Structure 1
């Protein structure tokens, strides 16, 4: 063990005594020797600290060991966790930087169940799935390399085979034209040689006539000379006629040979600049990535234990305001809350708009989406929302800063919608619960349920569960992997739905004038709010950091503190 690996007891070191630590206190952030560990364990200030052995401490990843137990900025103990900023907060942090943040929860409540929660199991499952996916990719890529090598050899053989066929064909064409050349030359030669033979015969005839003429002239009598010359004149006249007509003989023409190579052959030398081409082909891999039932990558967030009873839950009205009016009657059918605390509402039938307000009810912005009619809305991040629309079977992704659609997704008849970890999840009438992975627009049916027949079907999620209403009087709970948890039936009409971090469901019922609580196991229920609490004709309901927001169709928003 090197000197740098030795951890000293912090208490002894403060007394200028060097003792090697046998234990480590993460909350104190220092080592403890055995005697000091005993004192540490009985001290009122530290008896609840979770002390571990030095050997176990050294097995922790370096990043984990660096985790601070107190706020480094204010030197105060962390008390809350802000999911919007993904940060631990001390009491000063909350007052200075997180006044408007929603969704915050006590970290003491979360850490009590952190080891026993489904988070570690989910992370282990995700890591296992990620590892399996990587192994599949490695196997697939190696197989692709082998396939590319095979394609290389096949292409090489195709090139050589084509070249051989070209050579064979060119050899055949060459032989044909050479044969034609020889045949044509023979024909021309025959014509000329035939004429030469005729002329040779004529030359002999002419020589004979010349000899006869000289003999008659020198040795014949006058009578013989006279008569003989007349006879020779006739023969000479015939030969003159032959010479005069010799140009008409086919063999007398100026004959020659000309070779004209086909243009298609010469194109190879001029116009064809390549034997062919080599390109890269891309196609969709057969690998279907994912984890769990839906085979989608998940990022898990720690949530407090789901152990709270609904019996002691109370609701206190702490705020009320009206959504800024539009050009016509307001009809709010959906709502959601941004991570920064702002709220957004879907104003349906008449105004065809989205309305964003600050936490105090003041108008932030208004986004017209006509001719589309918004039904429900969910926040993706601080500036992006997803909206289901009536009548045209479409979900639109809206950038609230530019007020532009960034994506339009065709669906079935969609109604309630929520967002979870890269997916928008919605109710599709006659089909079930459908998820769309925003990274690639991949569509997955999580739950097949043809009982969703109600135009007022809504959906929400909490932790690893999703909850939705169907067929007017039923609330169903499924895991995000599609495993059924429970089903709750009520004679009253169920529409809007929300859930807290404990899995307790808040549903709007009894013709939109009551808020009903359903236990985390779906076995029990009780009424939390009624029309006496000013609940009137409400569809939108949202739970955020111990606050319950209920909005009526006319645009009156009620904010309740849940205790």
Structure 2
């Protein structure tokens, strides 16, 4: 019997090794297991079984003496998996559903596999069915999948870098576009200012001209008044000054009447184009943003398979040479057989020739005109000719127009 402490494992038999304390063995000590936990399917030494019993979750487990374990139970006894369930973290993954080839905890089996007939406790299933887990194959598969995921992760990183680069380009374009808008608004502002300056200059010139005329009339009135103010014994000269004064007064009165008639005060007023502001207020952005798929090799069409079909009819003299094809609205496929000078109708499901039309030359191209007509090109020595053919399929008769 082994005792506590270090022992030489090379001399241990398989039976003794299988009943070592699992806790001590995990810590590098080889201590004989005196107790067996039915729920844990593990052996414990006297010291470790006390620790086992103090854990609240394990306190309800059934613990037996090693002597109470049936003979042969210790040999080849499978331990319950230690992996915990992702959905029920307090449970271990110790159940297997053979119907779905899926593992889980007892709660998973009760919820998701309650109708399944073949559910087993994993240690018992492995022991009773001599089940062998091909871990190397799974490791190889996981490694390959891991590489695929890593490559995809690199693609995602590249996509993110490309997206961030594209973002920077778009933001730069937005700022450039905004600058273009600002430049155009600056031009509009400058044009408006120039228009105002020009208008005000015109009005200022008119006022200046009016002031000049007014000043001229004032000068004549002042001069006439001053001449009459001085006493002059020369009656002739007085007479002349009176008449000139009357003339100056009449001219001034006419000017004032003219000014009163045309004395409408001219002013300027600016009305902003509110439509510009309204349009800007209606805009949430200065452009539209959309998503488009990135054209990569994965987006290209791929050939899933191919198959050969016999397109010959009894009257064909040589092998078929299909130069062109078109599809009608009803799904009918029209083929151009260049070698046999024929226009052939192909069934869209069985891909068999159901009808044909003989042509006067070697056809090259065919296209649909409507649901009953097709156009065929037939090269001749002097040029090319077009033949419009209409097939009457209901009676399997041939007709050409």
TM-score by length of 2: 0.41
The structure, 1 or 2, with the larger RCO (C-alpha pairs under 8 Å, 6+ apart) is: 1
Higher helix share: 2
TM-score by length of 1: 0.31
Higher strand share: 1
Choose 1 or 2 for highest CA Rg.
Answer: 2
